[in-house]
Homo-oligomer: A and B are copies of this chain.
Amino acid sequence: MGAALAAHVGADVTAAGGPAAVAGRKMSPKITTELLKQLRQVMKNPRYVQEPVQAYIVPSGDAHQSEYIAPCDCRRAFISGFDGSAGTAIVTEQHAAMWTDGRYFLQAAHQMDSNWTLMKMGLKDTPTQEDWLVSVLPEGSKVGVDPFIIPADQWKRMSKALRSAGHDLVPVKENLIDTIWTDCPQRPCKPLITLDLSYTGVSWRDKIVALRSKMAERKVMWFVVTALDEVAWLFNLRGSDVEYNPVFFAYAVIGMNTIRLFIDGDRMMDPAVREHLQLDSTLEPEFKIQVMPYGSILSELQAVGAGLSPKEKVWLSDKASYALTEAIPKAYRYLTPYTPICIAKAVKNAAETEGMRRAHIKDAVALCELFNWLEKEVPKGTVTEIVAADKAEEFRSQQKDFVELSFATISSTGPNGAIIHYKPLPETNRTLSVNEIYLLDSGAQYKDGTTDVTRTMHFGTPSAYEKECFTYVLKGHIAVSAAIFPNGTKGHLLDSFARSALWDCGLDYLHGTGHGVGSFLNVHEGPCGISYKTFADEPLEAGMIVSDEPGYYEDGSFGIRIENVVLVIPAETKYNFKNRGSLTFEPLTLVPIQTKMIDVNLLTEKECNWVNEYHRRCREVVGAELERQGRHEALRWLLRETEPLARVQ
């Protein structure tokens, strides 16, 4: 989804958009005078702060550094009205300022009232948060922040800058927004889904064994799991506490002989969950899971930290919160950008791969139905972007093991297609027509896998120029999908392949080319990706799954993107330099690429064969499933749409 990647997988944030980076959101400003007055009171209230704080920082994000957050964690949106996916608010006694990036200048300006100053990040004259604080604060000020929300590396940078100017960054234990947010929604605590071996391929016990062996390699005694998808993956559990992401609020602390799971609610009363986690069985002590309250993570971690012997290290992500990082004395911390779970999770096993294949076949069935339906309905002039998105969801929900969407559907026609992270809203909702290009970027969570596919269609007759641009994008898509590269190659080395055909004609797109995709987990996951900026990505290896989604966007006119989810597989090559072995991609997405949009004369023979072979597989695999499900009209549509291209020599 969202051709651009999430920040943590190396997106170009000036062009990329998070889930909420949409055009045309609610644009009336929120009146915040009273709220700010209340916040400034609690900033001085000894009930909440040891000493008054002269400034309070409200970051985006939750205590797990999640990309998607629950309503109860939308504190920055609550205090300011601005609900874009990225932004940091700082409130002082006199000022209230909001830092956000180029995607959100317009939206933030509309959603915030005159109490707020917009700080446009990326512009030359915009001060950093630190510089601004130093310029407005009285001498020797205290700046407060919730230590659970701020990642340790950010804390370090800001604390250093403030200290050198004579101020102090101080942790405020109670979140001050929560103290004034009287109608704050409850933290979700929804039932869990247990996944058996047929979905996960590896039991949670074996995952713990593998994790402990990684810990032994690095000589660490404890590992702290802070990312929600890592907790879910480790225990083969799923939840629905956060929209689109099948995760649940929890932490885990894994020792060499202990397992502690920090989770709230009566979810652990569910017999299926108890059985799955073997909570009531007689187990070897090292596999006995101790269930503890979600809120006790800090005190438990502090106890761990206090009991360490010399050389006993504790492994944490370097993006973990300041609060948890600080619980471990500095000398005992072992911080890495990617955790061993993040890396293990990225390499899908046979069961996960098979699940992803099944999910993509079902997803293709739903999209064949949708496009067949659109083809009939669009000419009537009654299908809007929202109607189309709803219809896509309806068809998907008919498929087995459907759980929910994997992100907000990007359903956009004509000029809306050029807004990379568009989401149709009543005030922007455009009607599909036979005169405009339609771009649909959508996906779903099935119990066996996560999908994310973009197709760009024309329901009338595309212009020669539209076809030309589409064909360059297709050439880039194929160049990545068919690339053969040595084992150990990092994904960012493939990014230029996706752009070469566009570059040849002076065109380009301002986002990355691909992101990692979870297995019935987050649609964006690290540590791999394909982007000109992702230099911290881990090498690609067989079993990893990424998206391949080049595009081209013409402001005010149209947007084109072609996205498949692809699996990294071993490649057979004629030679084998230094015995390194080679890799390539296999498309998991099997939805026809509209041949009407292709200018066949711009394709090489190899590219033409790629399209024909891809469509042959769509026919064979998705055709069989359409047949099995008795969806004969959609099958006829598929057969017509997958006729081989005839290349003019």
* A645 contacts partner chain B, Cβ-Cβ < 8 Å: no
- Give Cα A329–Cα B500 distance, bound, in whole angstroms: 48
Residue A171 at the chain B interface, CB threshold 8 Å = no
A497 within 8 A of B: yes
Residue of B nearest to A495 (CB): B493
Contact check, B505 vs A575: say whether CB atoms are below 8 A apart: yes
Residue-wise interface mask of A (578-596) relative to B, using a CB-CB cutoff of 8 A (1 in contact, 0 not): 1010100000000000000
User: Which of chain B's residues has its CB closest to A553's CB?
Assistant: B577
A10-46 CB contacts (< 8 Å) to partner B: none
A338 CB-CB contact with B under 8 Å: no
B-contacting 9-mer, from A277-285, A386-394, A482-490: A482-490
A535 located at the interface, meaning its Cβ lies under 8 Å from any Cβ of chain B in the complex: yes
Q: How far is the CA of A224 from the CA of B604 in the complex (A)?
A: 54
Q: Flag if A484 contacts B497 (CB, 8 Å).
A: no
A573 touches B (CB below 8 Å): yes
A576 contacts B by Cβ under 8 Å: yes
A505 touching B574, Cβ below 8 Å:
yes
Which residues 493-529 of A sit at the B interface, judged by CB distance below 8 A?
A: 493-497, 500, 502-508
Q: Which residue of B lies closest to A485 (CB)?
A: B503
A373 at the interface (CB under 8 A from B): no
A610 at the interface (CB under 8 A from B): no
23 A-B residue pairs with Cβ-Cβ distance under 8 Å, sorted by A, are A483-B500, A483-B503, A484-B503, A485-B503, A486-B503, A493-B495, A493-B496, A494-B496, A496-B496, A496-B497, A504-B573, A505-B573, A505-B574, A505-B575, A506-B571, A506-B573, A506-B574, A506-B576, A506-B577, A506-B582, A508-B578, A508-B580, A535-B535
A-B complex: 10 closest residue pairs judged by Cβ atoms: A506-B573, A506-B575, A505-B574, A506-B576, A507-B577, A493-B496, A508-B577, A485-B503, A484-B504, A506-B582
Question: A395 at the A/B interface (Cβ < 8 Å)?
Answer: no
Check: A532 CB closer than 8 A to any chain B CB.
yes
Report copies per complex.
Answer: 2
- Bound-state Cα–Cα, A486 to B484, Å: 25
Contact B493 A582 (CB under 8 A): no
Q: Which residue of B lies closest to A469 (CB)?
A: B575
Interface size of A by Cβ–Cβ distance < 8 Å?
Answer: 29
Bound complex: CA A128 to CA B61 (Å): 39
Instruction: Please encode chain A, from 550 to 585, with 1 for each CB lying within 8 Å of some chain B CB and 0 for all others.
Output: 000000000000000000000101111110101000
Residues of chain B contacted by A500 (CB below 8 angstroms): 483, 497
> Shortest CB–CB separation between residue A616 and chain B, in angstroms?
22
Q: Cβ of A580: which chain B residues have Cβ within 8 Å of it? A: 508
Partner of A532, one of B484, B493, B532: B493
Looking at the assembled complex, report how far the CB atom of A322 sits from the nearest CB atom of chain B, in whole angstroms: 23
Q: CB-CB < 8 A to A483: which residues of B?
A: 500, 503
Q: How far does the Cβ of A479 sit from chain B's closest Cβ, in whole Å?
A: 9
CA distance A482 to B493 in the complex (A): 19
CA distance A443 to B497 in the complex (A): 32
CA distance A575 to B507 in the complex (A): 7
- A449-497 at interface with B (beta carbon < 8 Å): 483-486, 493-497
CA A493 – CA B496 in complex, angstroms? 6
Render A311-347 as a binary contact track against B, CB cut-off 8 A, 1 for contact. 0000000000000000000000000000000000000
Q: Which residues of B contact A495 (CB under 8 A)?
A: 493
Docked complex: A206-254 residues within 8 A CB-CB of B: none
How far is it, in angstroms, between the C-alpha of A576 and the C-alpha of B502 when the chains are bound? 10
Contacts of A505 in B (CB 8 A): 573-575
Within 8 A of B (CB), among A253-272: none
CB neighbours (8 Å) of A502 from chain B are: 577
On chain B, the residues within 8 Å of A577 by CB distance are 502, 506-508
How distant is the Cα of A505 from the Cα of B575 in the complex, in angstroms? 6
Taken together as a complex, chains A and B put the C-alpha atoms of A573 and B508 apart, in Å, by: 12
Which residue of B is nearest A582, CB measured?
B506
Min CB distance, A648 to chain B, in Å? 15
CB under 8 Å from chain B, chain A span 354-406: none
By beta carbon, the residue of chain B nearest A510 is B578
Looking across the interface, which residue of chain B has its beta carbon closest to that of A465?
A: B575
Q: Which residues of B contact A575 (CB under 8 A)?
A: 505-507
* Alpha-carbon separation in the docked complex, A485 to B532 (Å): 13
A471 vs chain B, min Cβ distance (A): 13
